[in-house]
Amino acid sequence: MRKLCITMYMIGIAAGVFARPAPDMPAAGPVAGQNVSDGGVSYSFGVVLGAQFFDSGLSFNYDDFVKGFQDAVEGSPALSEDEALLIANTAYRAALDKKNEVSKEREAVFLAENARKDGVITTASGLQYRVIREGTGAKPVVTDTVWAHYKGSFLDGTVFDSSYNDGEPVQFLLNEVIEGWAEGLQLMSIGGKYELFVPSSLAYGAEGAGSIIPPYTTLIFEVEPVAIMDPEESEEEAPQSPDDSDSGEYDE
């Protein structure tokens, strides 16, 4: 996800600042109780840049940061742009490597501990799963399109996606989803419900997925395949899950 060097990172920040649609402004002024003064603009750029760097793992000497920014704006920096970019790139990559090492260690510890829990099964690929409810229908194959309900969460329990919020299952072509999903769904019968613990090696790996899923992140899914789509039908209405009141939660 974050292999781009700091140069492109900063270009992305600038592009995001100017390309992003401005929010609706109140009639009294751009920000309630404030005017667009030089100070307001300067502070706003500081907020934008600071927010972008907040999760980078970098630490700053703020006085030096402000001095460098000021010198560059005024056209008298102590370093050439190439020199500054080399130093910034090196520091950024080192911080990212350190952060990734922490993530990899956390993932390894979780998977090792989780594998020892009652009811958790580990496959040859490293996928872990726990049966919540066995189904009675057919098992899909990798070429099938499956209607399924799901809830995805991180190790801390934060939910990042859920079909239950929309009240309808979602279609998935198994040969187009992450490896852990494709393998897990083929273990399940329609009407069943499993908890899948998908290692990053079977999910989004060292790249992550946009701003949502960081690198080296194990994902936890509650998955409930509802139906296999008839290949003769180009479109079907979303089928209902066995229990329409099911919100994705279950009893331990």
What is the rounded CA–CA span in Å between residue 210 and residue 217?
Answer: 13
Q: Is the dihedral of CA 94, 96, 99, 103 positive or negative?
A: negative
pLDDT of amino acid 3: 36
Can you tell me the mean pLDDT for 78-88?
87
Three-state SS sequence of the chain: CCCCCHHHHHHHHHHHHHHCCCCCCCCCCCECCECCCHHHHHHHHHHHHHHHHCCCCCCCCHHHHHHHHHHHHCCCCCCCHHHHHHHHHHHHHHHHHHHHHHHHHHHHHHHHHHHCCCCEEECCCCCEEEEEECCCCCCCCCCCEEEEEEEEECCCCCEEEECCCCCCCEEEEHHHCCHHHHHHHHHCCCCCEEEEEECHHHCCCCCCECCCECCCCCEEEEEEEEEECCCCCCCCCCCCCCCCCCCCCCCC
How confident is the model at residue 238, as a pLDDT?
61
Task: Write the pLDDT tens digit of every residue in 197-251.
Answer: 999 999 999 888 887 898 999 999 999 999 998 776 655 566 665 554 444 443 3
Tokens found for residue 20: 């992003």
Confidence of residue 159 (pLDDT cuts 50, 70, 90): very high
pLDDT score at 76: 87
Place of tokens 């490597």: 97
Beta-bridge mates of residue 121: 129
User: What's this model's pTM, rounded to 2 decimal places?
Assistant: 0.68
Residue 47: per-residue pLDDT? 81
Number of CB atoms found within 10 A of residue 227's CB:
21
Confidence class for position 59, pLDDT limits 50, 70, 90: confident
pLDDT in tens, 88-120: 888 888 888 888 899 999 999 999 999 999 999
At residue 181 the predicted structure's pLDDT band, cuts being 50, 70 and 90, is: very high
State what percent of residues in the chain have pLDDT above 70: 74
The residue with greater pLDDT, 164 or 55, is: 164
The pairs formed by 161-166 with CB atoms below 8 angstroms and a separation of 24 or more are 162/248, 164/246, 164/247, 164/248
Give the C-alpha separation, 107 to 114, whole Å.
10
State the pLDDT at residue 43.
81
pLDDT greater at residue 127 or residue 165: 127
Q: pLDDT: is 169 or 230 the higher one? A: 169
pLDDT at 51: 73
Give yes or no for a contact between 187 and 139, defined as CB atoms under 8 angstroms apart: yes
Q: Which residues are catalytic?
A: 150, 160-161, 178, 204, 221
Going from the N-terminus, what domains does the chain have, and what CATH number goes with each?
6-99 (1.10.287), 117-228 (3.10.50.40)
In this prediction, residue 67 carries a pLDDT of 87
The token pair at 4 is 């781009």
Rounded Cα distance between 210 and 213, Å, is 7
**pLDDT value, residue 39:** 64
pLDDT of residue 4: 38
The residue assigned the tokens 């060097």 is 5
- Res 9: pLDDT: 47
Of the two residues 158 and 9, the one the predictor is more confident about is 158
